[in-house]
Amino acid sequence: TLKLRLAECLKNLREEVSRQKTQAQTQARQIQQHVEHARDCIQDPPDVDGEIDPATGLRTRSAAKSAFHAALQTPGRKYVVTAVVNRIQSVNRRFGYAVGDQLLKTVSNLFGGTLAKTDRLFRWRGPALVALLERDEPIDVVQTEIRRISAKRIEGALEVGEGVLLPVSASWLVLPLNASAANTAKAIEN
């Protein structure tokens, strides 16, 4: 009888140790996410324009990082889509920054107009825009959706000077949001 009770106690002890170990790992992950978020907030320079990008009217990179962090706290599949407007540096050099900003605005309007109402679009920095999507579908379905959006041509969307039409296009990348907000930001930068 004593042997059976001892075996039962040891079994209960192992189960409790396993439960506490799992709970400690979960708490450690959450603390690590909070630390990374705090580090990002400290390292990110404050937005001069109060969180709104003047060229596109979109919320800025620091708002995007905060949205990533908040999205990681809720269950479900989330994806980050990064769009980089093509040839914006050469447009800025040749036609000026106002035309480059107009190009960014055109792409953000195209992209923002085709996303779901629950999706959020942000201006990252330079020629990059970032969208946070919540979808039930796997990544390949989301990539097909983004490919369809990016395949749309904007004919004559930007007329500069005397009959100069600038083609508008962007390169896209879809990433699953399943790591930390800091790792996602590093992937976007890369």
* Torsion of Cα atoms, 111 then 104 then 171 then 138, to 10°: -30
Measured CA to CA, the distance from residue 119 to residue 141 in angstroms comes to 16
pLDDT in tens, the chain (190 residues): 999 999 999 999 999 999 999 999 988 888 887 777 666 555 555 444 458 888 888 998 888 888 888 888 888 889 999 888 888 888 888 888 888 888 888 888 887 788 888 889 999 988 899 999 988 889 898 888 888 877 765 544 556 666 666 777 788 888 888 777 778 788 888 8
Task: Give me the amino acid identity at 44.
Answer: D
